[in-house]
């Protein structure tokens, strides 16, 4: 997987843990020298790390890293003894493609449109070629969103290839998790002064709409933002006395932070990267039964029963003001929890894997 194990928990973490109930799973994480904002995600899984040189924007560095990692995979980690090889990012394909045996099955969990990452624009042609080659040789592609699936099926004419839509989900253990008081002092401080606490939980990257956040802070004196999650490198964050950045927190604290918030938010700037995302955070937001405000795009239509959507700043401000005075509580349909947990997604994935035999 391309995400460090100590990053905020995402789809690869959850699926790896779920699959370890049915298979012997080893997780290998290419690790760079500089990965800030890590936390502790305890696990009993077999986690292995390999060091990669930084500055992979340079082709020579990517080439050197490929040689080093291929050596480790082949001679140290014994990649050829595994029945299935699962990758979570197309950039991992060059590391393993020449090591696979004929009987090994390759699974690609396509969770983002990697070609649309702004920081990778200089590598677009190279990545596009890797993606095309990967789609021609993979045994099973899992798409995390309908938009992402439709986009790639059309681009590469994947009609004759094996691909399935497997949405993201929520971590059922969060529902029964203990509520901690570790951060109570912060919430109590602002609640007693009648601030409305707006909380974002997730990675802080180029998609976060700081312009909207800043405008709302200038217009409304009674709100404060709690931003919870790792900050990607080279991201210029908005500094304001009513924005509190928590960095990464252990996953066990997510429920506590969400329940003590007034409103949970997903203020994204829309582009082709974002509109192909099925956000894990949305499933968790809904499970907590809190009021939710999110930017609107087609992939989120399935959440319309639980979420207040906006398309511009004026709509965001109007929704926020109406929710502040709304004392009702979201009623969660138990069917949502049953259908949209990682255990349920695991069952579908296992059926797909077994069907490849």
Q: Sorting pLDDT into bands at 50, 70 and 90, what band is 191?
A: confident
Q: Sorting pLDDT into bands at 50, 70 and 90, what band is 47?
A: confident
Res 32: pLDDT: 56
Mean pLDDT of 327-350: 84
CATH topology of domain 11-169+341-354: Rossmann fold (3.40.50)
Every domain of the chain and the residues it spans: 11-169+341-354, 172-333
Could you tell me which residues come within 8 angstroms of residue 46 by beta carbon, excluding any fewer than 6 positions away?
25, 26, 27
Residue pLDDT, tens place only, 18-38: 999 999 999 998 775 555 555
Highest mean pLDDT among 211-215, 255-259, 280-284: 211-215
Lowest mean pLDDT: which of 78-92, 176-190, 304-318, 319-333?
319-333
Classify 157 as helix, strand or coil: coil
Looking at the predicted structure, is the pLDDT value of residue 313 above 60? yes
Domains 11-169+341-354 and 172-333 are alike in CATH topology: yes
Dist CA 233 CA 35 (whole Å): 9
Matching CATH number, 172-333, of 3.40.50.720, 3.40.50.2000, 3.10.20.30, 2.40.170.20: 3.40.50.2000
Looking at the predicted structure, is the pLDDT value of residue 152 above 60? yes
Res 207: pLDDT: 94
Mean pLDDT of 46-67: 83
Looking at the predicted structure, is the pLDDT value of residue 99 above 80? yes
Alpha helices in the chain (DSSP H): 11-19, 59-71, 93-96, 124-137, 146-156, 184-191, 210-219, 254-259, 280-287, 313-325, 334-339, 342-354
Looking at the predicted structure, is the pLDDT value of residue 53 above 80? no
C-beta atoms surrounding 127 within 10 Å:
17
Dist CA 353 CA 161 (whole Å): 15
Res 159: pLDDT: 72
Residue pLDDT, tens place only, 203-231: 999 999 999 999 999 999 999 999 999 89
């Amino acid at each position: 997987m391309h995400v460090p194990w100590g990053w905020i928990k995402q789809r690869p973490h959850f699926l790896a843990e779920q699959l370890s109930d049915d298979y012997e799973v080893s997780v290998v994480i290419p690790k760079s020298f500089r990965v800030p904002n890590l936390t502790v995600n305890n696990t009993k899984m077999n986690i292995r790390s390999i060091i990669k040189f930084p500055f992979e924007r340079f082709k020579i560095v990517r080439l050197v890293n490929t040689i080093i990692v291929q050596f480790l995979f082949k001679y140290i980690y014994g990649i050829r003894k595994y029945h299935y090889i699962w990758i979570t990012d197309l950039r991992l394909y060059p590391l393993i493609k020449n090591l696979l045996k004929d009987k090994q099955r390759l699974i690609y969990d396509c969770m983002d449109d990697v070609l649309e990452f702004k920081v990778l624009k200089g590598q677009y042609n190279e990545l596009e070629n890797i993606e095309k080659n990967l789609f021609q040789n993979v045994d099973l592609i899992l798409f995390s969103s309908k938009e992402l699936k439709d986009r790639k099926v059309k681009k590469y004419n994947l009609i004759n290839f094996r691909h399935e839509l497997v949405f993201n989900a929520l971590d059922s253990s969060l529902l029964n998790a203990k509520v901690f008081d570790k951060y109570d002092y912060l919430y109590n401080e602002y609640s007693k002064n009648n601030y409305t606490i707006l909380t974002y939980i997730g990675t802080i990257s180029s998609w976060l709409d700081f312009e909207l956040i800043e405008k709302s802070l200038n217009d409304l004196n009674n709100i404060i933002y709690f931003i919870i999650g790792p900050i990607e490198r080279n991201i210029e964050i908005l500094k304001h006395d009513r924005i509190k950045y928590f960095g990464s927190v252990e996953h066990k604290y997510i429920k506590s932070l969400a329940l003590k918030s007034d409103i949970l938010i997903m203020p994204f700037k829309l582009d082709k990267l974002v509109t192909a995302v099925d956000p894990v955070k949305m499933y968790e937001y809904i499970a907590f039964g809190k009021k939710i405000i999110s930017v609107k795009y087609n992939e989120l239509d399935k959440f319309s029963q639980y979420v207040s959507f906006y398309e511009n700043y004026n709509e965001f401000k109007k929704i926020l003001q109406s929710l502040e005075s709304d004392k009702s509580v979201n009623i969660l349909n138990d069917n949502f929890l049953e259908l949209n947990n990682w255990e349920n997604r695991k069952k579908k994935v296992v059926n797909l894997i077994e069907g490849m035999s």
